[in-house]
Structure 1
Amino acid sequence: MAGIVSVLSETICELGEGPSYDPATGSLFWFNIVHGQLLERGRSGVTKVHELGQMASAIAIIDDKRQLVFTETGLHVRDVATGKLTLHTPVEADNAGTRSNDARVHPCGAFWVGTMSKTHAKNAGAIYWFFKGELRRLFDGITIPNSIAFSEDGAVAYYVDSDVKLLMRVDCDPATGLPVGEPKLFGDHRQSPGDVDGSVVDRDGILWNACWGASAVNAYAPDGKLVRSIPMPVLQPSCPAFFGAEADRLAITSAWADQDEATRAADPQGGKTFLIDFPVRGRFEPRVAI
C-alpha cells in the first residue's frame, strides 16, 4: 500500500477531528478541537482556519447557506457567509467539564452526537440523538465516544467507547435513526494495538476506522472481519471522511495530543490531514434535519 497516502493539508492540529466533505463546494471541513478552530480546505487547496471561540468537533450541512456545528455547549447554526454561530439546541451546556466529540448524520437526517470529559474522566460522556429539534440521550456512562457511523440504508448504527475498545452495532429505524433493540458486539479490540477512533461506512457496508495509536486505517466487513489495513505515516490517525467529487477517496485527520517530547519528535507529521488515494465506494454525508 506504499505511496497511496499523501498530505492533504500541512496545517497541524493538536487534536484534528471530525472531517466532513461538502460536495456542493468541494470543501473539506474539520476541527482542531482543543483550540476551538474549524478548518476548511476548498478546491484551491488552501486551508482556512476559522476561530470559533469554543471547543468544537463536528459539522453537518443544513442547506446551502447554513451548517450545524457541534460544540462544547451544543448544536449551533453556522451562517456560511459570515461564520456567525447561533445556539440552536444546548447539549450539556450546563456542564463545563464536558465537550463534544464524535458525531455523524444518519441517512434520515438525524444527528448522533457524543460528549466526553475534557479531562477524560471515566464514564462522564454520552451519545445523543437529535432530529428536527428533538434531543434524546441514547447511551450514557461513556468515556470517549467514537466510531459513530451508519449503513447506507440507515438500518445499522455503529459506535464505540474508545476507552473500552468494544466496537458495537445496533439496529436502527431507517425513518428516524433511533435504535431498535439492544446493541451487540461488532468487534472486540481489547487485545489489539491502538484505539478504535472515528469511522465511516461505505456503500458496500465496509466500516473504515482510524486506529489511534497504531498508525493505521482499518477496514471491516459487515461481519466484523478485518479485510484491509492501510499504514499511515502518523501515530494517531483520528477520523476518516469520504472525499472528492465521487466520494471515492478517504481524507484522514490526525493529532499529536497527549504525546511526550520524544514521541512527538518521532511523529513529526502528527496533526496533519491526509488523503488515502485508494478507491472506495463512498457516499456523501446526508443533510441534517433541524
Structure 2
Amino acid sequence: MSQVFDERQCVLGEGPLWHPERQQLFWFDILSKQLLTREDGTPKSWQFDEYVSAAGWVSRNELLIASASKLFRFDLESGASVNLCDLEADNPVTRSNDGRADPMGGFWIGTMGIHAETSAGAIYRYHKGELRKLFGGITISNSICFSPDARTAYFADTERQSIRRVALDEEGWPASEPALFVDLGADDLNPDGSVVDGEGCLWNAQWGAGRLARYAPDGTFLQRISVPAVQVTCPSFGGSDFRTLFMTTAAEGLNGEADGKTYMTEAPVPGRAEHRVRL
C-alpha cells in the first residue's frame, strides 16, 4: 500500500530522481519552479526563476537540470549553476517536461507547450556536449526510460495515449523508427512518466487513474499499484536495495488532501540505479 513520503502538495510534481551516491530523492514542482528533497527527514527546496522539470546526477554534489530554456549543472551544496546549452530558448511556447539519463551517460529530455499546444514539443538527447533533436511533433512528452540491456528506449506522447519504443545503437542513438509498445487508448488511460525495473519491465504512471501499471518487455499488462492521488505523474526506484517505488503526483485543478503529495511503496521487484550523466 502506498504511503506518504512528503506532505508538500506540488501543483505539478514531476521528475523524481534517486541519487545513488547521496541515497536521497530529488523531485520537481514544475509549475512552482522548484526542486525539492528531504535531508535527514527535513523538507528542503530550491527556487528557480523559470520552470524546471527533470534531472540526472553528474556527481555527488551536482545535478544536470532541464529548465524551460536550457540544460544546466546545479551544485546542491552551493546553489551555483553553470549553463550547458540552450533548450528551445527561442521558443516561448514550450518548456521542458520528462527526462532521464540513458545507459551511455547521455540525457534525454522532452519538451511540450506550456498550455499543451498540439505538436509543439519534441524529444532531444544531450550527449558529449551536443544537443540533438530526435523526434518532433510531440504534444506532451513523457515516459522516457531505457531497457537494462541499453538496446531500447521508451517514450510517450500522453495526448496519443500510447507508449512507443525505439531501438538504440551502441552509442545510444536511435537506430530505428519508433514502434508501438503499449496502446492505452482502448482503456482511455493517459501515460505519464515511466521507469524500468531490474527485470526489464516498464512501470507507467497513469494520469487521472490513480495508479502505476507494470508492463512486460513485450507490452503485456502484468499488475497495478493504486496511489491515493488521482494525478500520478512519475515513478522512481530508490532506497539502499532499490525496492522502494517513489511516485510524484499533481494537485493542479484539484483540491483533495491526497493530491500533489509524493508517495512511496514497497516494490515487488527491485529497480536499478539511475545512470550517471557523463559530461
> Which TM bucket (shorter chain)?
over 0.9
1:179 aligns with 2:174: yes
Distance, in Å, in 2 between the alignment partners of 1:192 and 1:7 is 28
Match of 2:266 in 1: 277
Contact 1:249 1:279 in 2 (8 A): no
Deviation for aligned residue 1:59: 1.0
What residue identity is the alignment partner of 1:23? P
Match of 2:213 in 1: 218
Contact 2:145 2:194 in 1 (8 A): yes
Deviation for aligned residue 1:51: 0.5
Secondary structure of 2:217's match? Answer: coil
Distance, in Å, in 2 between the alignment partners of 1:82 and 1:252 is 27
What residue identity is the alignment partner of 1:148? I
Match of 2:140 in 1: 144
What residue identity is the alignment partner of 1:206? C
1:157 aligns with 2:146: no
Match of 1:51 in 2: 47
Query: In structure 2, which of residues 155, 179, 188 is the aligned counterpart of residue 193 of structure 1?
Result: 188
CA offset digits 1:81-128 (Å, max 9, x no partner): 111222111110111111000001111101110001101100000000
Range that drifts further, 136-145 or 182-191: 182-191
Q: Report the count of equivalent residues.
A: 279
Deviation for aligned residue 1:79: 1.4
Using the size of structure 2 for normalisation, the TM-score is 0.97
Distance, in Å, in 1 between the alignment partners of 2:128 and 2:79 is 22
Deviation for aligned residue 1:34: 0.9
Equivalent runs, 1:1-290 vs 2, <5 Å: 4-42=1-39, 44-173=40-169, 175-257=170-252, 259=253, 264-265=254-255, 267-290=256-279
Deviation for aligned residue 1:249: 1.4
Secondary structure of 1:283's match? Answer: coil
Taking every aligned residue pair, what percent have the same amino acid on both sides?
42
Distance, in Å, in 1 between the alignment partners of 2:129 and 2:239 is 31
Distance, in Å, in 2 between the alignment partners of 1:256 and 1:66 is 29
Distance, in Å, in 2 between the alignment partners of 1:146 and 1:129 is 14
Deviation for aligned residue 1:278: 2.8
Distance, in Å, in 1 between the alignment partners of 2:8 and 2:257 is 12
CA offset digits 1:131-169 (Å, max 9, x no partner): 010111000000000000100121001001000112101
Contact 1:193 1:214 in 2 (8 A): no
Distance, in Å, in 2 between the alignment partners of 1:127 and 1:16 is 20
What residue identity is the alignment partner of 1:34? L
Deviation for aligned residue 1:277: 1.8
Distance, in Å, in 2 between the alignment partners of 1:187 and 1:215 is 18
Contact 2:20 2:274 in 1 (8 A): no
Deviation for aligned residue 1:209: 0.6
What residue identity is the alignment partner of 2:22? T
Distance, in Å, in 2 between the alignment partners of 1:210 and 1:244 is 19
Deviation for aligned residue 1:176: 1.9
Deviation for aligned residue 1:66: 1.8
Q: 1:214 to 1:193 in 2, by over 3 A?
A: farther
Unaligned stretches of 5+ residues in structure 2: none
CA offset digits 1:179-234 (Å, max 9, x no partner): 11111111111122331000000111110010110011000000101100111111
